[in-house]
Structure 1
């Protein structure tokens, strides 16, 4: 594992820079645990103060410190994205492996189910569901919704890998030795899927963060919790731009771009590293 990470940093500048950005992001999220103010606290600092040594990112019209708000917002957005990724990739791996290994009627049924989910327009459906739950939405519910609609495309990739692995000699050896299907899938096939799963996890974070910000900016997220989307929403609601308080909107927008760039570079780096063509080039360079 350490050798793989070292090679990633050595051969993939995109992954290297993306990882550095994500380390900064996670440090920012961790700082929320040391905040001198509660997440929901109001009127604890001077209102509408511009950035200064005392308040690095300025303050809001509600008397909140923008920097400490941002730490809570980044943490909550990552929690929503993490929950969505765990659910979405968990379902995708399970269905993809079952479909690829069993084949036959199971494969046809599950492939049809996957194709049906793929053609569903996810963003409009999420907006519709969130609008129906408006006022009752929580961060957990938002993560669940995103995860339950983001498993189909990854499952097709896992299925194709398992279809290939099922024909390998080591699979036949495991079956002839008396190993049952679930054990074959978990012990023999799952380790081969982990690199692809890691790349999918990174891209899943990217997708989930984008959806959280989009829904919250529209006022359809958990408006009682700090997140990058709700920071932008309330900044617009209190007309920060018109009142020349640009720092209130600049912080969450810049953080959103920063996080998206970090996950995107990491995803590009991982995908390129796992490409068989680049792997062959690395082996030739080492040789």
Structure 2
């Protein structure tokens, strides 16, 4: 409870958490959709928001609101996979490098720094181009997780380096505790706020990267996500034709 109280004292975390809950509610509501998210021409095309279609319809003959619920659900799947698995890597690398130090620290930080200095966006585009047909929701999530842990691993390592010099670490070592129990019992409570805050930040980053890859046409466009929704709106020139409800829904 104290951990949650400390987290919610940061207004940025509180706002992000509330927005995440709202998005999850919309994602769950996709299960009640009366429409197939992939089929076209299910409703009249290009109608503005009304009581029948609260966010209007698009040029593909799909309800924008219900399409958005599927898009949010799928984008959250990508974001959760990317954030959770990248947190696992970041925590392992940060804890081991920070606590062990020496040669292990130098090796792990060399790998981390290598990922930080490479042009990440270009690498993601190249990999997506090579694996375009295999770019499912799960694979996109794992791809982003593989490249999305380095900065946070270095941040966690910095905190562990500070914790390693504190008196309770020496006391725990002298008490005969091995590395794993010490790290899990003593360090995790101090690092958990950082891990959770970077989790939400990484989810936002993953959604943003998926949108960019989708706009470039490097994912499977038939699968509704926030990125593919925006891609189709741009393709059909929604803004130029005055169909603002279609393009503003994924942007908003």
Query: Which TM-score tier does this pair reach, normalised by the shorter chain?
Result: over 0.9
Match among 34, 41, 44 for residue 43 of structure 1: 41
Q: Which runs of 4+ in 1 moved over 6 A?
A: none
Work out the CA distance in 2 between the residues paired with 1:4 and 1:182.
22
What corresponds to 2:240 in structure 1? 242
Q: Confirm or deny that 1:117 pairs with 2:115.
A: yes
Match among 87, 94, 97 for residue 96 of structure 1: 94
SS in 2 for 1:241: coil
SS in 1 for 2:133: coil
In structure 2, the CA distance between the partners of 1:16 and 1:157, relative to structure 1 (3 Å rule), is closer
1:132-281 alignment to 2 at 5 Å?
132-254=130-252
Work out the CA distance in 2 between the residues paired with 1:242 and 1:252.
17
Work out the CA distance in 1 between the residues paired with 2:107 and 2:163.
21
Over residues 233-268 of structure 1, what are the superposed CA-to-partner deviations in whole Å (9 max), with x where a residue is unaligned? 1112223233332322121122xxxxxxxxxxxxxx
Are the aligned partners of 2:46 and 2:57 in contact in 1 as well (CA < 8 Å)? yes
Q: For structure 1, which segment, 154-163 or 21-30, has the greater mean C-alpha deviation from structure 2 after superposition?
A: 21-30
User: Aligned-residue CA RMSD in angstroms?
Assistant: 1.8
Question: How far did 1:82 drift?
Answer: 0.9
Are the aligned partners of 2:13 and 2:197 in contact in 1 as well (CA < 8 Å)? no
Q: Any gaps of 5 or more consecutive residues in structure 1?
A: 255-287
Question: How far did 1:4 drift?
Answer: 5.0
Question: How far did 1:15 drift?
Answer: 4.3
SS in 2 for 1:135: helix
SS in 2 for 1:38: coil
1:67-78 alignment to 2 at 5 Å?
67-78=65-76
Work out the CA distance in 2 between the residues paired with 1:76 and 1:42.
19
Question: How far did 1:214 drift?
Answer: 0.9
Equivalent residue pairs, number: 252
Are the aligned partners of 2:7 and 2:193 in contact in 1 as well (CA < 8 Å)? no
Work out the CA distance in 2 between the residues paired with 1:157 and 1:207.
17
In structure 2, the CA distance between the partners of 1:6 and 1:73, relative to structure 1 (3 Å rule), is same
Q: Any gaps of 5 or more consecutive residues in structure 2?
A: none
In structure 2, the CA distance between the partners of 1:179 and 1:12, relative to structure 1 (3 Å rule), is closer
Question: How far did 1:176 drift?
Answer: 1.9
The TM-score, its normalising length taken from structure 1, stands at 0.82
What corresponds to 2:60 in structure 1? 62
Are the aligned partners of 2:3 and 2:193 in contact in 1 as well (CA < 8 Å)? no
SS in 1 for 2:132: coil
Work out the CA distance in 2 between the residues paired with 1:101 and 1:212.
34
Question: How far did 1:178 drift?
Answer: 2.0
Q: Confirm or deny that 1:27 pairs with 2:25.
A: yes
Q: For structure 1, which segment, 118-127 or 168-177, has the greater mean C-alpha deviation from structure 2 after superposition?
A: 168-177
